[in-house]
Structure 1
Amino acid sequence: MPVPGTPVPSLVDSRSRGAQQANANAAIGKNGILATGPGSRSAQRQAAGGTITASIPRLTSPTAPPPGVPARTWLRGFARRIRITDHIIVIAAVAIAQVVRFGTTDHALLSTSGITLRYTGLSVAIALAWLAALKLESTRDIRIIGAGALEYQRVIHASVKVFGIIAIAAFLLDLSIARGYLAIALPIGMLGIVVSRWSWRRWLVTKIKRGRFITNVVILGSGRGAEDMIRSIRRDRGYHIVGACVPGDYQERSGDGDLEVDGLAVPILGDEHSVLAAVRRAKADVVAVTATERLGADTLRELAWELEAEKTDLVVQPGVTDVSEPRLKIRPTGGMPLLHVEAPQYQGAHRLGKALVDKLGALVALAILGPFMLLIALGIKCQDRGPVLYRQTRVGTAGAEFAMIKFRSMVIGADSQQHGMAEHNEADGPLFKIRDDPRVTPIGRVLRKYSLDELPQLLNVLRGEMSLVGPRPPLPREVASYTRRINRRMLVRPGMTGPWQVSGRSDLTWEETVRLDLSYVENWTFMQDLIILWRTARVVMKGQGAY
């Protein structure tokens, strides 16, 4: 399952009988972890912080894993619940469509080709085809259930394909299927399935937060690769690291029986030859491998076979980060499956489609929110007779500067006072943030809390300078300090909202903001935009993390 609230890519569990296939499949999957390659012992110590004291917390003993239902048990139950819910919704959708369109009378579906079929039979056929499509599209695969955007996207694709096939079949067989019947069944069923998947995901996240559902993990590897994987896993409450198996020479050098990472001591359960014993001892659900270059293809293949018998998943870090499943393709080269990382989708027709949606969305939002925005403007004007709008130079696509428009939330001349307040800055990196900024007006505090000061940016969206969803629009002085990595944020238009808005807002560190924005740019999809817009509405209503 994904990290709650974070749009990141996933690990894929693999029970393959081929080492290379296990390597490739492990690039993506069910829990949002991708780590970097292994490093030296000195790099490992440096990443761990250098100084380790005796107060380092040690993980629970591997012979006594934390309370909670292990993954091999709860995943089957969760998939079964989703399957039952899908069946109920699909059957209900076609039944409602038939009753609404024809009432309780079972009308005949006539064809000029001499084929006669009643609508009850058609409803049964559509329901069976719909459920089959959901299965064939792997919408209930344990790798993606609870994954959010990717799961919803597959559900929509499966549903649209079914009705597309029905339309083609009706044309070829000259069947007179009532369009109203299909127009009712498709949206009801598709929306119902997406809402049910969202509801089950919320239920799953609650269970994970309470420690009810866990996935026990054993790390196989050492050095920086193992440390990075441990850090990634610790960000997800659904995973629990029960120990590590490290190469024998590393064990001899460490000598303390623990793998120390950021103040956490992970018990070392053995070397690369004792993984199976460690899995049995720790009751592990997953073995995460980072030391592929030490193990070799033959050893990894043998390990995959052994773990398959134990019903334990094998995942292998591919050495790439923040890349989502649609961009990862497995292609055989010279008899060996290789993982190909495709270019980001934000180009060509996708770019034009996003721009069109932005402009239409901005027009609709202005039409609905226009009167409310006039009231806000009146309140700002009555407060101190100053200007209603505040214009600030920001940097957009490809480094082009533009004037971003906001409702003024600070006193007149606030910019000139910032230099003298530098010592009170609470943000890291090039950002400037003060939680209780004295320059903010009383009305401005309310506007900032609920992000109402950003509504005039709808005009920037109409002018093509911004998008409804995108990376945070940076200041020119921030861009001046950007590295080549951070510059990739400007491959797309900055957004009124984005992953930073729904994942902490002003409470995020600079590095977290950059990571979320880069992940968005690299893995953009329309479905992700819709989910961010939905989550933005919820976050803004709560008024948390904004100042």
Structure 2
Amino acid sequence: MPGWVRSYRLQALVSDLGCAAASAALAFSARFGELTPYVTPYALLSAALPLLWVGAVALNKAYEPRLIGVGSEEFRRIVRCGLALTAATAICSYLTKTDVARGYVIVALPLTTLLTLLFRYGLRRSLHARRAGGRCMRRVVAVGHRAGVAELVDRFRRERYHGMEIVAACLPDDTPGGVVGGVPVAGGFSDVPLVVSQLGADTVAVLACPEMDGLALRRLAWRLERTHTELVVAPALMEVAGPRTTIRPAAGLPLLHVEHPELTGVRQLVKNVFDRLIAGFLLVTLAPLLAGLAFAVRTSSPGPAFFRQTRVGRDGRLFTIVKFRTMRQDAERLKVELSSDADGLLFKVRKDPRVTPLGALMRRHSLDELPQLVNVLLGDMSLVGPRPPLPEEVARYGDDVRRRLLVRPGLTGLWQVSGRSDLSWEESVRLDLRYVENWSLMLDLQILWKTWSAVARGQGAY
């Protein structure tokens, strides 16, 4: 086990003990005067809570190395521990007809769960910061064909917070060596355990390929078992993840069941209501800021305060987007004299001479997009979704890219929290399609949470 994994687990264990101890002390001090007949059992329960909590978290495998640093499963398991212990305590309190445990149902256990989640989130942010600098990474040997390995290398380099660093590749045995995606080819499929041993790797990632069938994977797992090397298998549907995939065993075969994305129905209704409530609340709350920005735009350069443009929404419906004006009045006329810095269909100029000084500041922190809350309130847009495209862009879409139009465009999205204008056209499309395939209200909340950080940094906006 790598040293950084042991360090993370130790920090998580200590923080969990501290959170439980602090919550137990608070519950005990808050109810001490009311529980004179129960002081001794209450004190014993308070002293035991940290050990009970850590034991429950460990039994629920929330200290598993594979959960460290990525995904929401680590947090879900902690929440399940809190719910289970709260329910068990409430039942015991009811059966014994005592008030001793009620303080834990009301105060200690919910507070322990909340504090544990906050401390774990802090640990994860610290881990991601170290991974951005190339530390605390898992050493991975990628197994597959050249194109698949190159794509995997590129993805892991773009999203370093996953903590996967590919140190070597193993291609089919009859494939010539060399380099793939900047990673050396260290051998063939039959050489994987030897390559792992030589390079000190701790993970093997197997991509979908005909040579690595069920029998070959089983044999590889047996050989890696001796060195406790983790084996992960990437399915062919690399953009489909989370709640849409489940393993269904049938006739001894682990079948991967993939559900269709839920783009209509109750969940979509909940999303619509959530979007409009939040948009209405923000419009009322930010009214003074919006008025001040409108006045600043109107007085800092000739032209109106707002910029209106036709965009394409869900199912190809046209609507008018509203933004603060960030360019000169003659921006469209000057556009023909400029060349885009971006590839694909997007027109982006890193140092666009048409952008006003105030407009550059607003773009950097996405303040120019705040009026789009009106579009969200009207139902043309969502808080989270793909980029709202121009009609001329949509006219050049292929069949795959057109799938972006199955959901409403968003005020923010995966593209906003993953690089903004620094993204290539292909990467922007990939992120939008990933959102369409894996949409959920929880994903929306995660993106909204990350948007604040992306907007504050202002990275990738121009």
**Structure-2-length-normalised TM-score:** 0.88
In structure 2, what residue type is equivalent to 1:433?
A: K
- Counterpart for residue 542 of structure 1: 457
1:389 and 2:306 aligned: yes
Could you tell me how far 1:515 is from its partner in structure 2?
1.5
Q: For the Cα contact (< 8 Å) 2:146–2:180, is it kept in 1?
A: no
C-alpha distance in 2 between matches for 1:394 and 1:410: 18
Structure 1 length as normaliser, TM-score? 0.75
Please tell me the residue identity of whatever aligns with 1:308.
E
Instruction: Check if 1:244 corresponds to 2:169.
Output: yes
Q: 1:293 and 2:210 equivalent?
A: yes
Post-superposition offset of 1:483: 2.2
CA offsets 1:99-154 (integer angstroms, 9 cap, x no match): 2x325664557xxxxxx995446656766665455445543332222115443344
- Alignment partner of 1:192: what SS? helix
Cα 1:499/1:265, change in 2 over 3 Å: closer
Question: Match for 1:464: what amino acid?
Answer: G
RMSD over aligned Cα, in angstroms? 3.1
Determine which of 7, 12, 20 is the counterpart of 1:82: 12
Q: 2:356 aligned to 419, 437, 441, which one?
A: 441
The answer (yes or no) to whether the contact 1:108–1:118 under 8 Å persists in 2 is: no
- Does the Cα contact within 8 Å between 1:134 and 1:140 map onto a contact in 2? yes
Q: CA deviation at 1:472?
A: 1.5
Deviations 1:375-420 (A, max 9, x none): 11122222346322222222222222222111122222433443x2
Report the CA distance between 1:309 and its aligned residue.
Answer: 0.9
SS in 1 for 2:210: helix
Q: 2:196 aligns with which of 271, 279, 289?
A: 279
Q: Structure 2: how far apart are the matches of 1:346 and 1:190?
A: 33
Gaps of 5+ in 2: none
Instruction: Report if the CA contact (8 A) 2:326-2:363 is conserved.
Output: yes
How do residues 245-260 of structure 1 correspond to structure 2 at under 5 angstroms?
Answer: 245-250=170-175, 254=176, 257-258=177-178, 260=179
In the alignment, which residue of structure 1 is the partner of 2:118?
195
* Equivalence for 1:261: 180
Q: Equivalent residue of 1:320, what SS?
A: coil
Supply the distance in 2 between the matched residues of 1:231 and 1:266 (Cα, whole angstroms): 14
Question: Would you say the 8 A contact 2:385–2:412 is kept in 1?
Answer: yes
Aligned counterparts, 1:321-332, within 5 A = 321-332=238-249
CA 1:222–1:431: 2 relative to 1, 3 Å: closer
What CA distance in whole angstroms lies between the structure 1 residues aligned with 2:33 and 2:283?
44
Which whole-Å deviations, capped at 9, do the CAs of 1:47-72 have from their partners, x for residues lacking one?
Answer: xxxxxxxxxxxxxxxxxxxxxxxx54
Whole-Å separation in 1 of the counterparts to 2:333 and 2:297 = 20
Matches within 5 A, 1:458-477: 458-477=373-392
Q: Is 1:370 the equivalent of 2:299?
A: no
Q: % of aligned pairs identical?
A: 43
Question: Partner of 1:189: helix, strand, or coil?
Answer: helix
Partner in structure 1 of residue 31 of structure 2: 102
Q: 237, 240, 246: which one pairs with 1:320?
A: 237
Structure 2 counterpart SS, 1:429: coil
Match of 2:258 among 341, 352, 359: 341
SS in structure 2 at match of 1:474: coil
Question: Partners in 1 of 2:61 and 2:347 — Cα distance?
Answer: 45
Corresponding residue pairs, total: 460
Are the structure 2 counterparts of residues 305 and 456 from structure 1 closer, same or farther at C-alpha, using a change threshold of 3 Å?
same
- Do the aligned residues in 2 keep the contact of 1:502 with 1:535 (CA within 8 Å)? yes
Shift of 1:451: 1.1
Matches within 5 A, 1:135-150: 135-150=58-73
Contact 2:169/2:180, CA 8 A, preserved across alignment: no
The verdict on how the C-alpha distance between 1:373 and 1:192 changes in structure 2, with shifts beyond 3 A counting, is: same
Tell me the amino acid that sits aligned with residue 405 of structure 2: M
Shift of residue 503 of structure 1? 1.6
Corresponding letter in the other structure for 2:339? H
In structure 2, the residue matched to 1:525 is 440
User: How has the CA–CA distance of structure 1 residues 359 and 140 changed in structure 2, closer, same or farther, with 3 Å as cutoff?
Assistant: farther
Distance change in 2, residues 1:169/1:454 (3 Å): farther
Please state which structure has a larger fraction of its residues in helix: 2
Q: Contact conserved, 1:149 with 1:528, CA < 8 A, in 2?
A: no
Q: Which residue of 1 aligns with 2:416?
A: 501
Amino acid in structure 1 at the alignment position of 2:376: V
Deviation at 1:202, TM superposition (A): 2.2
Note the 1:481-496 alignment, pairs <5 A: 481-496=396-411
CA distance in 1, matches of 2:72, 2:223: 34
Residues 153 and 527 of structure 1 are in contact (CA less than 8 Å); yes or no, is this contact kept in structure 2? no
Give SS of 2:291's match: helix
Which structure has more relative contact order (CA 8 Å, sep 6+)? It is 1
1:163 aligns with 2:86: yes
SS at match of 1:143: helix
Q: Secondary structure at the match of 1:82?
A: helix
Deviation at 1:184, TM superposition (A): 3.9
Give the AA of the match of 2:173. Answer: G
1:459 is paired with a residue of what secondary structure?
Answer: helix
Letter in 1 for 2:180: V
Q: Is the 8 A contact 1:406 1:456 kept in 2?
A: yes
Aligned residue type for 1:502: V
Contact 2:93 2:102 in 1 (8 A): no
Residues 167 and 344 of structure 1: CA distance in aligned 2, closer, same or farther (over 3 Å):
farther
1:370: how far off? 1.0
Q: Counterpart of 2:394 in structure 1: which amino acid?
A: V
The 1:546/1:236 distance shift into structure 2, 3 A limit, reads: closer
Deviation at 1:83, TM superposition (A): 2.5
Contact map agreement 2:169 2:186 (CA 8 A) in 1: yes
